Amino acid sequence: MMGLSVPCFFSFVRFVFWFSFIHLAVANHFASSMRPLYHDDERSALLQFKQSFYTDKYTCFNLSDYPKVESWKLEGGNSSSADCCSWDGIKCDEETGHVIKLDLSSSCLFGSINSTTTLFQLVHLQWLSLAYNIFNISEIPAAINNLSRLSHLNLSFSFISGQIPPQLLDLRNLVSLDLSYNSVIQGPGNHKNHLELREPSLQNLVEKLTKLKVLNLDNVLISSPIPHMLANLSLTYLSLQDCGLQGEFPTKIFQLPNLSVLQLSHNSNLTGYLPEFEKTSPLTVLAIGGCGFSGTIPSSLGNLTKLVSLDVSFSSFLGELPISIGNLASLKELILEGYNFSGQISSSILGNLTQLDYLDLSHSHNKFSGQNSSSLSWIAKNTKLKILDLSDLNLVGHIPSSLGNLTSLESLDLSNNRLFGEIPQQLADITFLEVFNVSYNHLKGLVPQGKQFDTFENSSYHELFPSQISPSMPHASGPVLSISSGQSTPDCISSGISVSSGTATADMGNSGMVESVDTLLAHMPSCNLGPISTHGMVTRSKIGQAIVPNDDLVRRSLPYFCSTSRVKDRFQDHISATHQTLKKAQISG
């Protein structure tokens, strides 16, 4: 038998290759078509879960939110709508067809949740987010332990309360746990309908959930020391703000090799000191404002070259700010509010921080206080600044005209100083300015005209005394909380807030309504309050202006009512740049 010629041989090989390839492709096609698109019992559980809640635009946190469950429906013979794996917020395993991910965050859900909720029949879930919904002060159901495959659980901003059940600690596969901001807060440590972690305790949680990398328990009432075992976890994100923590903070946690975000603010009974920081530290956010930390700030803080946000406000540190802070070239947010350091802040310390978009030096009573305002000229070089708070520093002199170079500013607060003279016309060049506060100074002359200062009415210069409105320097509104809406029955704040002297009432303009701040905000679930800084109250979207010269109560409580993207992503801008009109000004002669 004669052998095949060379050309015939290669033709035969090509034929075999293509035949095998086509056969494999066809086999894969039929195999994939045989995979289950969904499971009837899971689809039924999802539909029953949907029916247990009320959804409406008025139950949404943000204007951009929408009820994802509206797509969960069966429409005649439409096979695509029958497939629950194609519904909004749902992801199924490609091999088994089981629902493994359910993202109903910001879905406008309103109602109660309990152990009979059909959600807990979805036992294959690995990822669950119910954040930014209203669950009517429900407790976390004990049936949560049915979801033993969960690796990610987010129940933040969902209006749940009560003791965290021990069954949650059965979720041993959890890598990320976020239960933050579920209390109605009337000030730091003053919780109403709060979520608690006492029995089980934080110690129990750390002992059981050993795979955790992300832990956010902000605003959960813990009232215990921080267990040293936290330093044994492979944490990348740890946030325990306003938890009533006590005792000394374990220093080793600062030095966790993978820890990027550490936030401990508003735990006044939490003590400790800062360690020496290595150059290899991955820290990008360090927030210890309002804690009982003491000692000095080590010069090795300058080794944290990846740091984007630093908050040491209202702390008990002694000594001067280390010059090495100038090495933090990536820093975007620096909050030194109420920090009574010695020495002065000058360009040699902060002048190199050219990436700053948020700088708060307010309420700092030290050698910096009382210095001449001309010494602030270096600040004008930080042209990326969006928020600048220099209030209550006892500054003396004229408002530097060079501040007009800060054309990206959205909030400028110079209130409660000893500034005199006229407001520089150059400030009208700040195109994006939304908040302008120079109240409680000794200014005179005309308010700047043109450009940005033409975008708000003269009436906003002087709310309490409309008969005295004029372009000349008026008095500020003084010690009131004023909320102007322009609607008879407002469903959200649309103009501005001004707070001082501990007042906690709201004047709703023409509506004749006067309510407490807590009551007012509790009735406005549809408000898009956006990111509100806990330091100086900066606003976005519907709110045009918020100024808090003195009132710590309101300043510290408002963030917990808000749909705040800053909690989701601390690095994003604090104020939307889309609003380019000056909504309101606080000015006093």
Dihedral of CA 513/517/519/525: which sign? positive
Rounded to an integer, the average pLDDT of 277-290 is 97
Strand order in the sheet with 247-248: 247-248, 270-272, 292-293
H-helix or E-strand spanning residue 262:
strand 261-263
The band of 183, judged by pLDDT with boundaries at 50, 70 and 90, is: confident
Rounded to an integer, the average pLDDT of 13-35 is 54
The band of 11, judged by pLDDT with boundaries at 50, 70 and 90, is: low
What pLDDT score does 189 carry? 53
- Given a cut of 80, is residue 257 above it in pLDDT? yes
Which of 141, 174, 207 marks a domain boundary? 174
Domain carrying residue 77: 37-174
What pLDDT score does 451 carry? 79
User: What is the CATH classification number for the domain harbouring 95?
Assistant: 3.80.10.10
| Region of poorest pLDDT, from 44-53, 106-115, 301-310, 501-510 | 501-510
**pTM (two decimals):** 0.76
Which of 153, 174, 195 marks a domain boundary? 174
Residue 124 lies in a domain: yes
Instruction: Residue 234: name the closest of 276, 178, 179, 174 by CA.
Output: 174
Mean pLDDT of the chain: 76
Residue 574 lies in a domain: yes
- Please indicate whether residue 10 or residue 516 has the higher confidence score (pLDDT): 10
- Please indicate whether residue 345 or residue 399 has the higher confidence score (pLDDT): 399
Report the domain count for the chain: 2
- Please indicate whether residue 183 or residue 31 has the higher confidence score (pLDDT): 183
Residue 118 lies in a domain: yes
pLDDT tens digit sequence for 482-534: 222 233 333 332 233 333 333 333 333 333 333 333 333 333 333 333 333 33
What pLDDT score does 246 carry? 96
Which of 110, 140, 174 marks a domain boundary? 174
The band of 475, judged by pLDDT with boundaries at 50, 70 and 90, is: very low
Surface-to-core class of residue 249, CB atoms within 10 Å of its CB (0-12 exposed, 13-18 middle, 19+ buried): buried
Residue 100 lies in a domain: yes
pLDDT tens digit sequence for 129-146: 999 999 999 999 999 999
The band of 357, judged by pLDDT with boundaries at 50, 70 and 90, is: very high
Residue 520 lies in a domain: yes
3 state SS of 137: coil
Rounded to an integer, the average pLDDT of 89-97 is 95
Residue 75 lies in a domain: yes
DSSP type of residue 303? G
Cα-Cα end-to-end distance for the chain: 113
What pLDDT score does 134 carry? 94
